[in-house]
Amino acid sequence: MTAGNATPGTRRPLIGITGRRFRLGLVDGLDKRYGHLFADAFMSDFSDRIARAGGVPVNLPYDADPEALCHWLAGVVVTGGQDVHPRFWGGDLSVVGDVDPRDDPMVHDPDRDAYEIALVHAALAGGIPVLGVCRGLQILNVALGGTLIADLPPGSVEHLSGSGPITDGADDHKVTFTPGSIAERLFGASAVTNSWHHQAVDRCGTGLVVTGRTADGVVEAVELPGSAVLGVQWHPEWMEREDPTLDWIVAEGNRRT
CATH class of 14-254: alpha beta
In the chain, where the domains are located:
14-254
Single out the catalytic residue among 108, 159, 235, 252: 235
Catalytic residue list contains 116: no
Out of 134, 220, 223, 252, the active site residue is 134
Q: How far is CA 253 from CA 10, 50, 70, 104, 218, in A?
A: 13, 11, 12, 34, 29
Active site residue 134: yes
Per residue of the chain (257 residues), what is the pLDDT tens digit? 344 555 545 789 999 999 999 999 999 999 999 999 999 999 999 999 999 999 999 999 999 999 999 999 999 999 999 999 999 999 999 999 999 999 998 999 999 999 999 999 999 999 999 999 999 999 999 999 999 999 999 999 999 999 999 999 999 999 999 999 999 999 999 999 999 999 999 999 999 999 999 999 999 999 999 999 999 999 999 999 989 999 999 999 999 87
For the purposes of burial, counting CB atoms within 10 Å of the CB of 201, is it exposed (0-12), middle (13-18) or buried (19 or more)? buried
